[in-house]
Amino acid sequence: MKKIKINDVEEILYYEQLKNGLNVYMIPKKTVNNVYVTYTTKYGSIHNEFKSINSKKMIKVPNGIAHFLEHKMFEQENGVDPMIFFTSKGADVNAFTGLLNTTYLFYGSKHLNDNLKFLLDYVHSPYFTNENVEKEKGIIEQEINMYADIPYSELDDGIRKNLFHNHPAKYSIAGTINDVNDITKEQLYECYNTFYHPSNMFLVLTGNFNPEEVITIVKQKQEERCVPSVEKIETKKVKEPPTVIKEYEEKIMNVEIAKIAFSFKICLTDFQKERRKHDIYLLILFLVLFGQTSLFYEKMKENSYVDSEIDINYLHIDDYAILNLTSDTKKPKELINAIKEEIENINIDEKEFKRKKKVLISSMIHLFENIKTLNHHIIDSVNNYGNFNNDMLKLLRGLNIKEYREFIFKLNFNNYSSFVIKPKDKK
């Protein structure tokens, strides 16, 4: 097991890749009482066409099947409910499916060994029958209908649908009701056997624990699996043009104030070698332009164009960076036009660049004080870049205004879309 010093902070990353390919990342912290544990497969909603581990043929499965599979993992053949088990051991349990990954987790201060063993057991014990699959379809249909009534969920799905022509990122993570009804037991096993192989998974622990004890448990549980070695998983590559499908769309919902999502689709094909650094430069730019302390935000408040903060969300999808701005507003058209004008007249201010750089450095240092945030930072790093960078502070300190300007002015910000949820006309 490697002990990797995280430079500039007094932390150690314990890392090991097991014989079966599973990667384990651990950052122990004796200053806290709890442990946050996540078990992730690099399998999300976008992986809907792939070469099956069994037949080696390219197959297409219904959208939403990764999310459906996550649901079904909580039903065990032995009848033990993971939710009840973890609660009895004083731990919170959860799972979530995203575009890129599915993660199972627990969080608690007691019975770490028992909880860890159970996590590794139940995630590796799929139990799908025709009956329980059909039963789950009704449950997920209710969930889909519930999310359809949540404005920000509709914003998220709507804006992605308008951004992508061919990429499966345009589809809802849960799929549609028709997608869900097409899912079969055999497809679930096909997806599970392909993507839940240990070589496609990683375990992350942050908090108060003994890494030597943990790695012993993990190795023992993995040896019990006896899974065969596999080749690298191959998913279908789609050609995605840099343009958007639709520049504007609106929807009427039961809201008091309009909500907007404004997203930029930025091609980064020529910047893959230092993607991590370029992602940070883009984040700095949008914080400077649209962040809470920006002149733009102050102006929007003065003109009553915004009724909330402008949230900035970054999405990393293959060759594209998706920068998404969301806010509540009584004047959606005026706010959209103001955003367009701001991006058309980018002014690189060195003072603001240095200020935001200091903020990111401070945030990275404070990241290690919260075991949940730290854990999810590792998940995002492994998903997006393939590894955890133990020298992030050096990378941040090395950012410079010359390189920043050169990078920003090479980018095309002309591909964007806005999605507006408007309140019903009270008349």
Q: Which long-range contacts (CB under 8 A, 24 or more apart) does 139-143 make?
A: 139/71, 140/64, 140/67, 140/68, 140/71, 140/174, 140/180, 141/177, 141/180, 143/174
Same domain for 324 and 403, yes or no, is yes
Task: Tell me, yes or no, whether 309 lies in a domain.
Answer: yes
pLDDT of residue 78: 92
Same domain for 9 and 89, yes or no, is yes
The three state secondary structure string of 337-380 is HHHHHHHHCCCCCHHHHHHHHHHHHHHHHHHCCCHHHHHHHHHH
CA dihedral (379, 385, 388, 394) positive or negative: negative
pLDDT of residue 270: 86
Q: Which residues contact 108 (CB under 8 A, 6 or more apart)?
A: 34, 35, 86, 89, 90, 91, 92, 115
CATH number at residue 107: 3.30.830.10
| Rounded Cα–Cα distance for residues 130 and 134 (Å) | 6
Same domain for 271 and 366, yes or no, is yes
Same domain for 417 and 359, yes or no, is yes
Same domain for 377 and 302, yes or no, is yes
Task: Tell me, yes or no, whether 259 lies in a domain.
Answer: yes
* Domain span including residue 17: 2-225
Tell me the HSE value of 291 on the side-chain side, using a 13 A CA sphere. Answer: 14
Q: What is the mean pLDDT of the chain?
A: 94
Q: How long, in residues, is the chain?
A: 427
Same domain for 206 and 274, yes or no, is no
| Rounded Cα–Cα distance for residues 120 and 222 (Å) | 8
Task: Tell me, yes or no, whether 236 lies in a domain.
Answer: no
Task: Tell me, yes or no, whether 232 lies in a domain.
Answer: no
Instruction: Please identify, among 225, 260, 284, the residue that sits at the C-terminal boundary of a domain.
Output: 225
Pairing of strands 23-28, 49-51: unpaired
At 14 the three-state DSSP class reads: strand
Per-residue burial over 208-242, b = 16 or more CB atoms within 10 Å of its CB, e = otherwise? ebebeebbeebbebbeeeeeeeeeebebeeeebee
pLDDT of residue 427: 58
Instruction: Please identify, among 175, 191, 225, the residue that sits at the C-terminal boundary of a domain.
Output: 225
Domain count, the chain: 2
pLDDT of residue 259: 97
Structure tokens at 297: 């935000």
| Rounded Cα–Cα distance for residues 260 and 336 (Å) | 8
Same domain for 253 and 205, yes or no, is no
pLDDT of residue 162: 97
Residues involved in catalysis: 70
Task: Tell me, yes or no, whether 401 lies in a domain.
Answer: yes
Residues of the chain with pLDDT under 50: none
Same domain for 8 and 58, yes or no, is yes
Which residues are bridge partners to 373 per DSSP?
none
| Rounded Cα–Cα distance for residues 41 and 227 (Å) | 16
Which residues are bridge partners to 25 per DSSP?
15, 204
Instruction: Please identify, among 194, 225, 256, the residue that sits at the C-terminal boundary of a domain.
Output: 225
Q: How many CB atoms lie within 10 A of CB 131?
A: 9
Per-residue burial over 379-396, b = 16 or more CB atoms within 10 Å of its CB, e = otherwise? bbbbbbeeebebebbeeb
306 CB burial (10 A radius; 0-12, 13-18, 19+): buried
Per DSSP, 249 falls in state E
At 47 the three-state DSSP class reads: coil
Beta carbons of 404 and 281 less than 8 angstroms apart: yes
Which residues are bridge partners to 202 per DSSP?
23, 40
Same domain for 125 and 160, yes or no, is yes
Same domain for 57 and 199, yes or no, is yes
Same domain for 203 and 268, yes or no, is no
Same domain for 220 and 258, yes or no, is no
pLDDT of residue 189: 95
pLDDT of residue 426: 64
Task: Tell me, yes or no, whether 237 lies in a domain.
Answer: no
Task: Tell me, yes or no, whether 233 lies in a domain.
Answer: no
Q: Which amino acid appears at position 292 of this protein?
A: Q
